[in-house]
Each structure stands twice: as structure tokens, then as C-alpha cells.
Amino acid sequence: MLAGLQDIDWIVLLQTPLFSAFIFCVGLCIGSFLNVCIYRIPLDRPVTYPGSHCAVCGSPIAWQNNIPVLSWWLLRGRAACCGVKIDWRYWVVEALTGCLYLALWHHYVHGENPQPQLWLPYAVLCSMLIAATCIDIDHFMIPDRFTLGAIALGLIFSTLIPSMHEKTTMAAGFTASFWGAAVGFFLLWGVSQIGSFVFRKEAMGAGDFKFLGGMGAFLGVASIGWIIVVSSIVGSFFGLAIIFGKQGSWGTRIPYGPFLAIAAVAWFFGGKDATTDWIQNFQDRVLTPPGEVRTFQQPGE
Ligand SMILES: [Zn+2]
């Protein structure tokens, strides 16, 4: 008798090391594509045509010289065509994408309570975070397709996969995503208004508000506080390091998008648990009247 599809233990299949290796390779290839996006999108060039070519001499790049990470090391960081130096960031973006894909896979497929359906939306979000970060570093702006695009994709994914927000219906998934986007956008806008009033200087741009809106659409309202707090702490340390490392002064312009992206990635790996614990603690200590014993029964139990 042939086993029916429903008889296959899908989780066991997804948990095999071969599948992890496959996910890592997918990440490397997507990372390679992100490099193309990072270079071409701010220049308003199409990302799919023409194929990869040398930015200096224009020669097409042969497939064997276009293997993620490996080719950079085999060619010792120089182009095969004209010997121009290739920035190390190309292979870092590829390796980072591969590692993040693998880490998300491990998180959502290998945990106690596997939720493999969450891997795809969050891998998409992380890809957008990486590309937006590099573009923000290069050009001090984040193109709308990574910010408004993230809001749109977050709404779509949340409607199709309501478990992203621990919801069970499509309407509830959409609503949670909508509030995440709205609170992300307007809260950071508010913070920036206060910031420019206090420091008399534009600290953030509209791209940053839209960017946090996109993160909120994927991660929900609870993530917004975490992302704002963590990004401003990491950003402040970075700013101080630059000043004391004599790499810049108080006036040095630093893009804020990368810190938002770092905080959003940290949400997956500890931030969500920390925030959930904090909210629980707050409810127990502040919102529960003294003397009342709080029980953890779910409604309907
Ligand atoms: Zn060349």
C-alpha cells in the first residue's frame, strides 16, 4: 500500500539536515539577487534585465564567477574580466541572507511547537530589511518599494496566514497587521516630531516611518515599542562610538533605517519573548488589584 500524502510526517521531513542545507542555499541565491536590487533600484534600473554584468567594464559575468560567496573568495575579491576590486559587501549580503534564512528555519521548524508556515513571510521581510539597510547606508533613503511594499506584503501575508499574529481568521489577521502598520508609522512620526523640536534638526525621514510601518504590518503592534527602544539604544551607541572613535562628530549624518532593521531581526530571536514577558509582568503587577489572585485560565476553559 502506498502511503497517502496525509500519512507523511511533514515536520520530520522538513527537519532533516538536507532541508536546512537547501534553505541556506536558497538564502545565498536570494542574497545574490538582493545585491542586484541594492545596486540597481536606487538608479532606477530594472532588476531582471540585463543579466549580471561588471559595473566597470560592462562585460557579462559568467555563471561560474557568479556563485554566491564562493566566487568572491575564489577570485580573491577581483572581477574576472578587468580585475577591478569587488566590494566585500557583496559576499557579506549573500552570507547574511543565507544565515538569516537558516536561523528563521531553525526557529520556526525545529522548535517545540513548529510553525513552518511562518518561515516564508518572515524570510521575505528579512530580505527586504537587508536590501533597505544597504540602500539606506549608500543613499540615505529607502525606496518606497521596500517600505510601502513591506506594508502591502505584510497585510497580504497576515490575511493569508493569520497565525503570524496568533489569530485564526483572515479578518483578524488583516486587522492585526493594519494596526501594526498604523501604529508603527504614526508612533515613529510622533517621536521624530518631538526629536526635531528638541534637537532642532531632522533626525528621521518619511522613509523611516514607512519602514517601521512595514515592520509593524508583519510583526504586529507589540513589536513597535521593542523596535523603537532597541533601535534608538543601538543607534546611540553607534553614534557615540563614531564620535569617540574620531570617525565623525555630533553633526555626522547616520541613516536610521539600519538600526530599525537590526531591532526588527532581534524581535525574532528574543525580542518577542522578552516583550511578552514584560507585558505579562506589567499586567500582573499594575493592572491586577492587590489581593486578587490572578489565574491563567483561558476564556472558555
Ligand atoms: Zn570588468
Question: Between residues 195 and 237, which one has the greater pLDDT?
Answer: 237
Q: What does the mean pLDDT of the chain come to?
A: 89
Residue 299: per-residue pLDDT? 53
pLDDT band at 120 (very low <50, low <70, confident <90, very high): very high
Rg (C-alpha) for the chain, rounded Å, is: 22
pLDDT tens digits for 87-115?
A: 999 999 999 999 999 999 999 999 788 99
21 C-alpha to ligand 1 centroid (Å):
32
Lowest mean pLDDT of 66-70, 74-78, 118-122, 198-202, name the range. Answer: 198-202
Extract the C-alpha cell encoding 18.
Answer: 538536507
133 C-alpha to ligand 1 centroid (Å):
26
Q: Which residue has the cell 531632522?
A: 202
What pTM value is reported for the model?
A: 0.89
Bridge partners of 53, per DSSP, are 60
Residue 158: per-residue pLDDT? 98
Report the share of the chain in percent with pLDDT over 70. Answer: 93
User: Is pLDDT above 50 for 301?
Assistant: no
65 C-alpha to ligand 1 centroid (Å):
12
Residue 1: per-residue pLDDT? 46
Ranges of each domain in the chain: 9-114, 118-281
Give dist(CA 162, CA 221) in Å, integer.
14
User: Is pLDDT above 60 for 145?
Assistant: yes
Measured at the CA of 271, the angle between CA 284 and CA 229, to 5 degrees, comes to 90
168 C-alpha to ligand 1 centroid (Å):
53
Give dist(CA 255, CA 242) in Å, integer.
13
Question: Which residues contact residue 2 at a Cβ distance below 8 angstroms, ignoring those fewer than 6 apart?
Answer: none
pLDDT tens digits for 251-277?
A: 778 899 999 999 999 999 999 999 999
DSSP state for residue 200 in the 8-state scheme: S
Are the CB atoms for 156 and 125 separated by under 8 Å?
no
Helices and strands (DSSP H and E) totals, the chain = 11, 0
Among 138, 149, 132, CA closest to 37: 132
pLDDT tens digits for 48-57?
A: 888 888 888 8
User: Is pLDDT above 60 for 296?
Assistant: no
75 C-alpha to ligand 1 centroid (Å):
13
Concatenated DSSP letters of 254-265:
--SHHHHHHHHH
Give dist(CA 266, CA 275) in Å, integer.
11
Cα-to-chain-centroid distance, residue 24? 16
Give dist(CA 235, CA 218) in Å, integer.
22
66 C-alpha to ligand 1 centroid (Å):
13
Among 122, 105, 123, CA closest to 114: 105
- State the angle between helix axes of 144-160 and 119-139 in degrees (0 to 180), rounded to the nearest 10: 170
85 C-alpha to ligand 1 centroid (Å):
9
Are the CB atoms for 10 and 112 separated by under 8 Å?
no
